[in-house]
Structure 1
Amino acid sequence: MTINILGCYAATPRTFTNPTSQVLEIKGRMFLIDCGEGTQVQLRKQKIKFGRIEHIFISHLHGDHFYGLIGLISTFALLGRKNDLHVYGPKGIKEVILLLLKVSNSWTTYNLYFHELESAESEVVYEDEKVRVSTIPLRHRVYTNGYLFEEKPAERTLNIEAVEAYEIDQAYYRKIKYGGDITLEDGRVIPNAELTFDPPPCKSYAFCSDTAYKEDIVPIIKDVTVLYHESTFLESEERYCETTMHCTAKQAARIALKANAGNLILGHFSTRYESIDLFREEAATIFENVDVADDGKVFEY
């Protein structure tokens, strides 16, 4: 599981920082999460192939999280894209993108599908045989969702030595990989645990930006492998959290601790601070496995 940080700073883009956007690679799938200004430039810098992006997840309709989307959609067309593109985001995203395409007479060369979200409850918005994506309802100044990406369990791995020792025909291998026991000709039942190895543990990734402190997301992200959580402010500016509906690094760490997350990545930093290392230092007083995002940084798990 690889997380490519394209941008991770709050509010406006600057010459050396970019607003929120990242690419998640999981189980052979590539998902773009949020699309602030400059996203396509960052994709080129990180040498990420545009054609592999088929699903884009937008958390909310604040500019620093989706103003790069129309440019990326247009560039896909200029590059002659043919494969479908799916966009998931709050109700209204279809209207604004189609209006911009209409007034600029820049219709796509490919099928563009919008999946608009309105529910205040967590719901599955994408699913295939390997990955499931669910919303994480957040608390911000406009309707906002985070997203939980979960691997589905892989097949069990055959213990070839055991299978051959029992002289089991290859015709039964698929049944065994799916967890089935085997009955031999002499009537003995061989439990699946003797014939297979456990698959690797399923990994998961929770993206939570932007939001005020919200403990009721904890059951949704319980035991997540990696939690990306906004940390716009340090504790010294906590007074701004309620009016802006953002979090401090310590608040993000509390969510990670309550959710029993394996790892915490902090992001969406206010640019008022001299160093993002300050966010790590504050969060580490509450949660041990913490790191900070930065533009161009890649995390592998």
Structure 2
Amino acid sequence: MELTGVFVPMITPFDESGAVAFPALERLAHEVLDAGATGLVALGTTGEPSALTAGERDGVVAVLARVCAAHAAPLIGPPGEGVTAALSLVPPFVRPGPDGVLAHFTALAASSPVPLVVYHVPHRTGQPLDAGTLRRIAGLDRVIGIKYATGALDADAIALLADPPPGFAFLSGDDLFLSPLLALGAAGGILASAHLATDRFVALTRAWHSGDLGAARKLGHALAPLSAALFAEPNPAVIKAVLHAQGRIPTPSVRLPLLPASAAALDAALRHAT
């Protein structure tokens, strides 16, 4: 499995009764793949998995697996039928240290039915990892990539991209830093913002990969304000509000502990979404 291009971590839309709107999810998944996304991510943070029942989570994965199969596209998500690779979070809260994280992924890779994509998001997990540790994790058999979301364009990302491990894909997990990370050699991104302007995020990625620097810089500068606006309030509230305003999902609802996007955040995002 080659991890390159734009992967969209799908929202979970809800209908007027509060139930998961599976038909809307299916339509939205087809839309982003038709617009050029490489693949989808099921039940990432953007999908509000902790607020879903086990049955709802199973239903989301089944819908996205069916859509991906129809497009011959990869699905990243929890291991199961139709899932190509597992998005695996660095162990949160316990802060086991670099050697503990390495041991965790060693054991997980040995038991997983699918390859792993490491999700490194230290502001959520509380566990920082330097480039040397990430390189050790990248060397594990069946670890094929990383979603890198440190909230900064930092020295560890630069060091990792300066000498990337063979067969290991560096994917931006911070939408705002997609363009500079692509310029440094990233393979692509897992981008909640790409629910919107999917084709432009795809074009940005292709422009950097093809060496069209003028187009890449122009697109990067144009898309950064959209990503900033979509993350102005806790994700995915603003994304859902915009998708609802565009008539693509039946409600803008999120589940607690998230709250709906404010009118000001929606207005600001809509200005950049056209």
Normalised to the residue count of structure 2, the TM-score between the two structures is 0.38
Question: Structure 1 or 2: larger strand share?
Answer: 1
Larger Rg: 1
* Greater RCO, CA 8 A, separation 6+: 2
